[in-house]
Amino acid sequence: MKKFVFLLLLTVSINTLGQKQPAKTEQPKTQPQTQTQAQTQAQPQTQQTGMSALTEHFYKKYVTAVKWNDFEVAKSALYDLIIENPQNDSLILSLAYHYYENQQHVPAVLVSQQLLTRNPKNAAALEIAAIGYEAMGVNDRALQSYESLYLLSNNMNILYKMAFLQYELKRYNEAITSIDILLANKEAQAAKVVYNDVENKPKEYPMTVALLNLKGLAVLDQLGDKAAAKKLFDQALAASPDFVLAKQNLNKVK
């Protein structure tokens, strides 16, 4: 799947190389396509795009490297393409996505920041930057990126991530506000999240269960209110009796 995502991202880039205006960026998650579709879309289109001979050479190098799973050579070809076409944001996004996919968080963040200096509302760059900052443990910067992304998308999964980061940063009032918004959201009420069960195996739980548990922790840490925290842990366990974290937290307030 990684191979096809790279090809599709670069196809978007190549299709705009003959244009003067920067290309529109794509979201990092691309809908799955068949191998035939991906290969067809990734063929060079020199007459349509007006790309230079050198750009076409680097593009063919990139496509061949991805086809053969040589992502270091593909990365090198991306740099060549960016140098030849420095105003093409989609090429830079492809590079950011390359680093993201290979869990190279520092360059993923730096490349994303370059995109964000050009367009602070680039949702794909914000998401890659947020994930990278979080992976590096720079939670305040991760939260900033997620907040900007949430303002653009109003996505409940982003708000869910924000609530946990707000709690970890001891911004308890903000965490509780985010949790309450989600608990009142019908979409969030139907959503599932994955946690380990009593046998330490991944299992789906209602998102609301995790939120009630988190709110209990925020109330306990902010106010020291064991009674209010206990009530929230009890509510979580009433919905999912085997939710381990709520069980552990309930034992702490008894």
The domains of the chain are located at 2-153
Q: Does residue 34 have a pLDDT over 80?
A: no
Cα 76 to Cα 62: distance, rounded to the nearest angstrom: 8
Q: Measure the CA angle with vertex 135, ends 134 and 136; round to 5°.
A: 90
User: Residue 108 carries which side chain, given as an amino acid letter?
Assistant: A
Tens digit of pLDDT for each residue in 190-240?
999 999 998 999 999 999 999 999 999 999 999 999 999 999 999 999 999
Q: What fold, for 2-153?
A: 1.25.40
- What pLDDT is attached to residue 36? 35
Residue/partner pairs of 113-122 with CB below 8 Å, 24 or more apart: 115/25, 115/89, 118/22, 118/89, 119/25, 119/89, 120/148, 121/148, 121/152, 122/25, 122/89, 122/93
Tens digit of pLDDT for each residue in 68-91?
999 899 999 999 999 999 999 999
pLDDT over 70 percentage in the chain = 80
In this structure, of 7-11, 155-159, 215-219, the range with the lowest mean pLDDT score is 7-11
Q: Measure the CA angle with vertex 93, ends 58 and 25; round to 5°.
A: 110
Q: Which band of pLDDT confidence, cut at 50, 70 and 90, is reported for residue 50?
A: low
Of the two residues 13 and 133, the one the predictor is more confident about is 133
Of the two residues 106 and 198, the one the predictor is more confident about is 106
Nearest in space to 93 (alpha carbons), one of 22, 155, 145, 162? 22
